[in-house]
Amino acid sequence: MSEFTHFMENKIIDHILRNQSYTPPAKVYLALFTAAPDDDGGGTEVTGGSYARQEIALSAASDGLSSNSADITFPTATASWGTITHCAIMDALTEGNMLMYSPLDASKTIDTGDTFKVSTGDLDIAVD
């Protein structure tokens, strides 16, 4: 995952190059999408069926790369979530700002009774 949103790009520039204060979120969350977000946010986030964003624990960055340091397991779907095509890192459990987004390596259809899981080390965050 390496696509920063305009929101995040502006925060980085203002904080690092303009000495403007920025308080990073205490926690970040993984969100799932059935339609692609872009640099302005957007996309179609999953709703209903027991869906909820999940908190992400990350490893320390090294050489511009970090990854999830624990499994990220979403609740069992109580209704179809549709076909998940993208994910994003958000700065709040609900609402909030999208920080980064990426297409999945392979789309995944989540039906009633299915669980979506990202195994430890499978969510890569890279800055080139």
CB 83 within 8 A of CB 34: yes
What's residue 36's pLDDT?
95
Is the pLDDT at 1 greater than 90? The verdict is no
Predicted structure pTM score: 0.94
Interval 45-68: pLDDT, tens: 999 999 999 999 999 999 999 999
127 — pLDDT class (breaks 50, 70, 90): confident
Dihedrals phi, psi of 51, to nearest 5 degrees:
-65, 140
What's the pLDDT at 128?
76
Q: Which residues contact 13 (CB under 8 A, 6 or more apart)?
A: none
